Amino acid sequence: MTTIEKRATSDYRPKMRPSQIALYGFGILILVLLGWRIYNVVSVEQYPIQFWAIQSINGLVLGSVYALIALGYTLVYGILFMINFAHGEVVMLGGFAGYFALQLCIRWGWVAADAPFFQSWLAVLFPIAVGMIASLLVAMALERIAYRPLRGAQRLIPLISAIGASFFLQYSALLIFGVTPHNYQKPAVLTGAVSLGDSGVFISKTGLFIILASIVLMLILYILVQKTKIGRAMRAVAEDQEMASLMGVDVNRIIVFTFVIGGLLAGAGGVMLGYQNTVMRFNTGFIPGLKAFTAAVLGGIGNVPGAMIGAIILGELEALGPSLLGLPNEYKDVIAFSVLIFVLIFRPTGILGERLSRERA
Amino acid sequence: MSIKPGIRYGIISFGILFYLSILGLPLPRTLGGFGTLALGLFWAVLVLISLVTMRETDQRRYTTIEAVTGGLLISAIAGFGMALVVGLFGRLIADGVQVNTVFAQVLPEWVGTFTGQTKQEVQAGVSATTALLRFALLMTSAGFLGAIVSRGLTHSSRERWHDWINSPFMYWLVIAMPFVFYVWYFALARGILGATNTSISGLVLACLFVTAVLVALRRVRDKRRRLVFGIAFVVMLILLPQIGDQFQNTVLNKIAIFSVVGIGLNIVLGYAGMLHLGYIAFFAVGAYAYGLLASPDSYFVINFMGGDGITFWQGLLVAAIVGALMGIIFGVPILRTRGDYLAIVTLGFGQITFLLLLNLREFTGGPGGVLDIPPPTLFGVDLGSAESILYLAMIMLAVVAFMTLRLNDSRIGRSWRAMKEDEDVAATMGINLSTTKLVAFAIGAAFAAVAGVLYATRQVNIFPDNFALKQSIDILSLVIIGGLGSIEGVVLGAVAFAGLPEILREAENYRIVAFGALLVAMMILRPQGLLPPLEHEEDIDVSDRRQDAWLQIFDAEEDDQDSAETGATGTD
């Protein structure tokens, strides 16, 4: 490699400008102030250690659900560079489908406390499967109707289309399923809590299930993306669509497949949201969708591990943030969004977003 | 042959009808006597689908026989499918199954609107085979009609349509429309037409008048005529608040206020090209700045100002300054972020502002909001009536629109456009990106904040819910539906987003569903908005393209796309 090439390819870093130094100084000042505040609160309030443990487990549960949803955003963004604003609605519809499947299970007597072990687990898994399939169908329809005709259009246009689709789906759900909240009834195996030894720390069985199921689903996703042929094609399309299509990858199919995976994960996330919140409404998906999207951006959108990390961080922030800062619990969203902004000021492409070049972001 | 597309579109049509029906469209109780109308709607949908799909394919035109077969197939599948579904639901209801636990709208009355039975008959399980058969045959007739009508539509008829649109008759008709609506509105409001309860119908006419003015101004290109009609329209607009009743003026001033907000966002998004999803925050800041400094029961007025709040005019000034400062404070951290990251950060700002308004109870009143915001006064005259606020809003709109036009032609306006096209190139050409962005944020935010003051005094009581994410998205949509970068477009968008909800109040949820679908359809069919900025239309450099042979490929492609859009919906 010649010198010129080396210079051209090496990472060019300009010197820090005074404004940047001021910015970093400001950042450090805020960090110090935050640290001071946390130190004060923690030393004054004297919460027992169990409290922190339980809160961080709650954060982990929340984070796992966010991660499942965030992956849908990030996969689609990685390939199409569009914010799938209607993804929260895909989650919600999956949750509704899961609810109806659960009603069937109740009718078959699988949910009752005295149901046999096998049936009881079926009552957990069957709604998840139904929710996943429903979300998959919705995601595919969404892609076909609202996004495919807009491929190659200006970036704002698919976003507006997605916003339109989001309102359409949300209020359709309101009209079709009614305003009354649909109450999820937990199957017997998910009720109650598990105690971790004598430490006084416990974790609800639902929470444990959500964490484990999310890990399993994400492992499957990892294997799918990293080890299979279609996963390789997906990565190729994300890298360079045109080049991938020249290499014989059917780009259209890969895009649909991406929506399928996003939909499957969203459906699972929706049903888990139902188990966790025990209630499903037409707008249930909107806020978690927004949070999951925030998580995806926090981790670096378009980046699969980034979405998981971002989601876990966001979940923990929401669970621990208010107590750490000594604020009422209503401020959890303020804290989450403030951290997002703070991170993006210093890392404009998110925590793991190095891979995205500037012009793509 | 037309069998395959017939079956395909038949299934799609059935899906559409089924969806519409479970949305609850045929239920009379939700739309007040809309029951039979809804069947008309179904019928019209089928006519339209068979008309569009049976017109011609990409390759060739259907023969009459093929078209009729296809149309009949489409409507028969949809009609008999619906009849089957209705029959099935009727059976289930008669058997005592609670269908409405899944589909909330599917009640006995729902079945009754298709079969003409009463609630008791449906519950008793009275057979309705003939009624359903009649329904299915009625639907099938729609496809036949659509297919026959599609014979009349050819490419040449489309050209004739274009000629007709551009004819002098249409030109004068478009110019006449504002006058027609204005006189009609006047006659209606003064009771000359003998109609009572004219609130809603009058509002419809007022909105149509505003729309017609915008369209007419768009159509008149000649400078002198533009001036003449422009003055006429301005005079009519000045007299407009005198015609309407309080309700109409309230809605009209909301439209004007949202136009101002939209113009502010238009600067940030349309001119400078920065997607701001938390724009409502600035509107909220303006409203709360005035509310908190003027309302006699606010924390600040009681504790720091000795019980005397500021006046409306001081409020405007304060809001403009605070808004611009907020724009800069929110703007500085995000100077480096771009595109979708910018979108999500601004969304975060919007959410933070909303949550702070909701949770800082001592200062903002929390969910209880700020109450008793004083009306504006001028030399002791109370300007709190809907009419005076409409005048104030119209003046504000005029000032803001004028400022925007001047800004757009100035050096900073050109910098915005350059930055929108390509940030890196703009920076290379010597444009200071930071200043340019911050100026856009500051001006856009100041406009929104000033509009917020007027909104606060219009509402008297303001609550955090008035400034939630949904409103932010509404404002974004109104700017884009109207036409990004065009002031007339923003006003039209405001009519759609601030006027229509009042008109369609009874059917609010249906409106949102329809709006969602409309947004998607617009982005596919007319992404530039209803009234895009004029220079945009003109500077498609067709003449340049004609000079370069290879560029004509793009023209050919565009023509293809045109025919694909108006032709079959599926082209794969």
% chain A with pLDDT above 70: 93
Tell me the nearest-neighbour CA distance from A327 into chain B, angstroms. Answer: 11
Neighbouring-strand partners of residue A182: A280
More confident residue, A62 or B34: A62
Distances in Å between the Cα of B321 and the Cα atoms of A325, B364, B435 are 32, 19, 17
Closest CA–CA distance from residue A304 to any residue of chain B (Å): 17
pLDDT at A93: 92
Question: CB-CB: which of A175, A330, A348 is closest to B509?
Answer: A175
pLDDT of residue A118: 80
Where does the pLDDT of residue B259 fall: very low under 50, low under 70, confident under 90, or very high at 90 and above?
A: very high
Confidence of residue B374 (pLDDT cuts 50, 70, 90): confident
> Does residue B40 have a pLDDT over 80?
no
Is residue B384 scored above 80 in pLDDT? no
Residue B165: predicted pLDDT: 77
Contact B350, B469 (CB under 8 A): yes
- A73: pLDDT confidence band, cut at 50, 70 and 90? confident
Based on DSSP, count helices (H) and strands (E) in chain B, helices before strands: 28, 2
Question: Does B483 or A260 have the greater pLDDT score?
Answer: A260
Contact B336 A345 (CB under 8 A): yes
| Residue among B192, B253, B220 nearest B391 (CA) | B253
Indicate yes or no: CB of A160 within 8 angstroms of CB of B484.
no
Coil/strand/helix, residue A195: strand
- A125-152, pLDDT tens digit by residue? 888 999 999 999 999 999 988 888 888 7
Cβ contacts of A345 on chain B, cutoff 8 Å? 333-334, 336-337
Closest-CA residue of chain A to B353: A334
The two most distant CA atoms of chain A are separated, in Å, by 76
| Closest by CA position to A68, among listed A236, A285, A311, A243 | A311
- Identity of the residue in B337, B509, B527 whose CB atom sits nearest the CB atom of A348: B337
Confidence of residue B227 (pLDDT cuts 50, 70, 90): confident
Using DSSP's 3-state secondary structure scheme, residue B381 falls into strand
Q: Quick check: B383 pLDDT over 70?
A: yes
Q: What are phi and psi of A25, to 5 degrees?
A: -60, -45
Residue B173: per-residue pLDDT: 84
pLDDT digits (tens, 9 = 90+) for B104-118: 777 777 777 777 777
Mean pLDDT of A217-243: 86
Share of chain B above pLDDT 90, in %: 6
Q: What is the mean pLDDT of residues A191-207?
A: 79
B 397-426 near A (Cβ less than 8 A):
none
Q: Which residue has the higher pLDDT, A13 or B512?
A: B512
Task: pLDDT band for B58, please (50, 70, 90 cuts).
Answer: low
Contacts of B22 in chain A (CB under 8 A): 176
Distance between CA B431 and CA A69 in Å, rounded? 40
End-to-end, the C-alpha distance of chain B in Å comes to: 16
- Segments making up each domain of chain A, as ranges: 67-287
What's the pLDDT score for residue B133? 85
Burial B59-75, CB ≥16 within 10 A → b, else e: eeebeeebbbbbbbbbb
Mean pLDDT of the region B292-316: 77
Written as one string, the DSSP assignment of A139-156 is: HHHHIIIIIGGGTTS-TH
Q: Do the Cβ atoms of A340 and B348 come within 8 Å?
A: yes
pLDDT of residue B36: 63
Report, as an integer, the average pLDDT of B71-75: 85
Per the model's pLDDT, the better-predicted residue between A5 and B295 turns out to be: B295
Cβ of A171 within 8 Å of Cβ of B477? The answer is no
pLDDT of residue B400: 92
Q: Which residues of A touch B347 (CB under 8 A)?
A: 290
The span from the CA of A246 to the CA of A184, in Å, is 49
pLDDT of A134: 92
Q: How far is B335 from chain A (nearest CA, A)?
A: 9
User: How high is the ipTM of this complex?
Assistant: 0.82
Nearest Cα of chain B lies from the Cα of A293 at a distance, in angstroms, of 8
Average pLDDT (B464-487) is: 84
| Three-state DSSP class for residue B337 | coil
Mean pLDDT of chain B: 79
pLDDT higher than threshold 50 for residue B236: yes
A163 contacts in B (CB within 8 Å)?
Answer: 473, 476-477, 519
Q: How confident is the model at residue A11 (pLDDT cuts 50, 70, 90)?
A: low
Over the stretch A296-352, which tens digit does the pLDDT of each residue have? 888 887 778 888 888 999 999 888 888 888 777 778 888 888 888 888 777 777 777
Q: How far is B334 from chain A (nearest CA, A)?
A: 6
Confidence of residue B157 (pLDDT cuts 50, 70, 90): low
What per-residue confidence (pLDDT) applies to B258? 92
In this predicted model, which residue has the larger pLDDT, B541 or A267?
A267
Single-letter amino acid, residue A286:
F
Measure the CA angle with vertex A192, ends A188 and A195; round to 5°: 135
B residues 461-520 near A, CB within 8 Å? 469, 473, 476-477, 480, 484, 509-510, 512-513, 515-520
A88-109, pLDDT tens digit by residue?
899 999 999 999 888 888 888 7
- pLDDT at residue A104, rounded to an integer: 84
Is B339 or A138 the better-scoring residue by pLDDT?
A138
Q: Which residue of A has its CA nearest to B274?
A: A156
Mean pLDDT on A184-197: 78
Q: A202: part of which helix (H) or strand (E)?
A: strand A202-204
Contact yes or no for B473 and A344 at CB 8 A: no
Q: Which residues contact B97 (CB under 8 A, 6 or more apart)?
A: none
- Closest residue in A to B273 (Cα–Cα): A156
Residue A358 scores a pLDDT above 60: no
CA–CA–CA angle A286, A292, A293 (5° rounding): 90
Task: Say how far apart CA B418 and CA B273 lie, in whole Å.
Answer: 10
Q: What value does the mean pLDDT take over residues B190-196?
A: 71
What is chain A's mean pLDDT, rounded? 82
A203: β partners: A194
Q: Which residues in chain A are contacts of B348 at CB distance < 8 A?
A: 294, 337-338, 340-341
In this structure, what token pair is assigned to residue B224? 């002198």
